[in-house]
Amino acid sequence: MLITPTTIADIKILTPRRYEDTRGYFSEVYNSRTLAQSGLAFHPLQENQSMSRQPGTVRGLHFQRPPHPQSKLVRVLRGAIFDVAVDIRHGSPTFGRWVGAELTADGGEQIFIPAGFAHGFCTLQPDTEISYLVDGFYSAECDSAIRWNDPSLDITWPEFAGAVLSDKDASAPLLAERGADFHWSPAA
């Protein structure tokens, strides 16, 4: 598995190796030992899946607050997305900065997003399906969001992003309107 750093050290792009033949391919998409050897301690407890019918669908920017935060490993099962992770750890040198990456089913790329980051994506193709491995169970009382187009974040979304939004995502608060849900420390 190829593990590629991004401009924010805690966010990684993982590209599993594919073994192809005339039938198609085989790929090991998750291996806790491989990730641990690369410095990523991630032990999923739940898998979520979403499907978005229309290109331009934005889901996010979502996260779970403590005491039930979640780290995520996101991959595309069908279609393509522009995926975004925003550092929301107060005190972090990269607080409020974001990383974006295109993930495709054809390429098999995945993005690892640790707790303390808000996550969202915009679909680039019709009928796009996403799988999220998460290391914490869903908690309705800790479920949170930041507005996807918060001007202070200055995220460079695809031109047609936001064509389809949930009411929850459209009315999410700005980052400046949220409390300090996460705090960064050099040892984290």
Active-site residue identified among 25, 62, 68, 90: 62
Active-site residue identified among 19, 132, 138, 183: 132
Helix, coil or strand: residue 158:
coil
- Residue 96 CA from chain centroid, whole number: 15
Alpha-carbon span 45 to 134, nearest angstrom: 6
132 is catalytic: yes
CA atoms within 13 Å, Cβ hemisphere of 13: 19
Alpha-carbon span 93 to 185, nearest angstrom: 10
Cβ neighbourhood burial of 177 (10 Å; 0-12, 13-18, 19+)? exposed
Nearest to 103 by CA among 180, 4, 28, 172: 4
62 is catalytic: yes
Active site residues per annotation: 62, 132
